[in-house]
Structure 1
Amino acid sequence: MVSSIRVFIVLILSLIHLSYNDFNNVPKVKVIYQNITVRETFAKKIKLGQWRHHVFIYRLYNKRQLLYRSCCTGNIITEDRVLTSAHCFLTNRKRLKIKLKDLRVVGGILSTTAREPIEDDVQQWRKIQHIYSQKFFRFPAFNLAILRLNKMWVFNQFVNKIPYSKLNQNFDGICSGFILKSTTSWSSTKSVFVVEMQIYPQRTCEQLLLRSCEQYYSSESIPTLSSTETEGAGLVCFQTGDPAEHETDGVLVGVTSLMNKNLPNLHTRIGLFHDWVTNAATGHNCNALCIVLIIDCAICMFVNRLFM
């Protein structure tokens, strides 16, 4: 009896010892965020003419004075299309959050508040005609959206498009992202800064967030990121080996979808959905109903000619 009790006690102590060792072997994730404040001090304020693909999406908040305030961000990818986040506009049931008539997409501007001009000058103001979203959109999954605008962009030294990635690559390194912050304590508007963001490997993202990160690039958390105004912003990388990459402008690899506090941020991969983005960006986006109608019309024409 005594020997069995001793064996039981030894087993209990062994389990406690193993549990203690396992606890000590858990990685200290706080170490990952040590250099955030140091890295943020190297953020560079964007000047007009830099990052020409960047646009603000404004919402009307003062009808009398035609004043607009930014609610999201986007990226010019063709002459009349902007790539952004579907969550800016749609609920999970794909219902509009905001009326399209109250929204404007503006290039050649760096201020978060603005008044709509009578004519385009440096700034180019556009209206949204249609929003293309992914079929299985459930935030933050399948969170890409493409805006079709009422007028084409006039590409110049202030407004231009950026190439988007063709390849779905896994890499860790430094990419460029956007942050918005006030430069003075009394300012009601924020300035745009470009900042270096550390990209984490997919496995690290999944361990920290306890979720699948197959659709995303994950970057370090930056306290000054605004969940409303920087959503839809582009993640731009250089020297990726992607055939679409531009020598000086880099390549757009992700769209900012979810900003977390003290946890990695999520940027939806573009290379993973390259075919969908290309189809929606070029206008060749025919759904099943469209195909059925085309076939139906073709059959009707054939029958009419047969009996004529």
Structure 2
Amino acid sequence: MENFTWSIAVLICTLLVNNNPLADNHLRINGGYEAKIEDHPWIVSLQLNSSDICGGSLLNEDTVLTAAHCFGVSSEWSLYSILAGTHDRTQSGTKIQVKDVKIHEWYMSYLPINDIAIIKLAEKVEFSKKIQPARLPNQDDQLPEGAPLLAAGWGLTEVNGTTTASDVLKAAKIEVLPQTTCNTLIVLYKGIICAGNRTNGIYWGDSGGPLEHDGVVVGVASYVIGESMYGGFTSVADYRTWISRTTGI
């Protein structure tokens, strides 16, 4: 218990030094390339009062997987909606209101653990080439160090030194990093995938979006580790039982 308490204290101090990434702005894809929605048909934009705040992954016709920290203290779920089936979020897509949200019961906003939530939609989406459910890993699936990954979302674009949110879907090629690499910056707990590389990664903006390996959604974008290009992703495999219990999927 003493070691656990010490680890929690170290983590809280680390988060305070880094301005607490979970309590600050959300994450965005940094770098990468413009992606086709047909290559990531499960990805959705989560919106609050029609403004993009996070990403998510469609699990079936009316269920979305995202990050818990995308939601504030308000439970007025009708203020939230998702936009699916579009590569350019300024163009037409399928927009559906949120009916309910289930946040992991052990999620705490000041700690980067259990950062996972399930959205229930008010209506069912209609599947097409641009809208499909995500495939999820089994609870025993493990990713080796160096495994190739894709992080997808609506990213940052830099023009003349000014960084703005991109309207088009972007993806970045990253990889699973050694725990020791990320542990030099922040304490990592079970259930977190540390990923990134020196040129591409996640940055502030599209939390909740998918981390993919061979077309399977293996992670949920959660936080940036310090000032690095490394990201912490909630491991879907580690929360597979919780997802099944919460959704029946």
Are 1:111 and 1:189, in contact at CA under 8 Å, matched by a contact in 2? no
Identity rate, percent:
17
The Cα of 1:138 is off from its aligned counterpart by 1.4
The answer as to 2:149 corresponding to 1:148 is no
Q: Distance in 2 between matches of 1:202 and 1:84?
A: 23
The answer as to 2:157 corresponding to 1:182 is yes
Of the three residues 182, 191, 195, the one matched with 2:172 is: 195
Instruction: Determine which structure has greater relative contact order: mean sequence separation of CA pairs < 8 Å that are 6+ residues apart, divided by chain length.
Output: 2
The Cα of 1:279 is off from its aligned counterpart by 1.8
Change in 2 beyond 3 A, CA 1:181/1:224: farther
Matches within 5 A, 1:32-181: 43-60=32-49, 68-90=50-72, 95-96=73-74, 99-113=76-90, 123-139=93-109, 140-166=112-138, 167-172=140-145, 173-178=147-152, 180-181=155-156
**Which runs of 5 or more residues in structure 1 are unaligned?**
1-39, 61-67, 115-121, 239-249, 284-308
The Cα of 1:259 is off from its aligned counterpart by 1.6
Question: What's the TM-score, normalizing by structure 2?
Answer: 0.75
**Corresponding residue for residue 209 of structure 2:** 233
Deviations 1:68-122 (A, max 9, x none): 22110000011210000010004xxxx32x74222211101233556xxxxxxx6
Superposition misfits of 4+ residues, deviation over 4 angstroms: 183-189, 221-224
Are 2:202 and 2:229, in contact at CA under 8 Å, matched by a contact in 1? no
**Corresponding residue for residue 304 of structure 1:** none
**Which runs of 5 or more residues in structure 2 are unaligned?**
1-29
Q: CA RMSD in A?
A: 2.6
Q: Distance in 2 between matches of 1:267 and 1:164?
A: 14
Q: Distance in 2 between matches of 1:189 and 1:254?
A: 22
Q: Distance in 2 between matches of 1:224 and 1:113?
A: 24
**Structure whose residues are more often helix by fraction:** 1
Change in 2 beyond 3 A, CA 1:45/1:183: farther
Are 2:137 and 2:217, in contact at CA under 8 Å, matched by a contact in 1? yes
SS in 2 for 1:127: strand
**Corresponding residue for residue 194 of structure 2:** 218
Change in 2 beyond 3 A, CA 1:199/1:187: closer
SS in 2 for 1:163: coil
Task: Work out which of the two has the higher radius of gyration on C-alpha atoms and give 1 or 2.
Answer: 1
Question: What's the TM-score, normalizing by structure 1?
Answer: 0.62
Q: Distance in 1 between matches of 2:101 and 2:173?
A: 30
The Cα of 1:153 is off from its aligned counterpart by 1.4
Change in 2 beyond 3 A, CA 1:184/1:212: closer
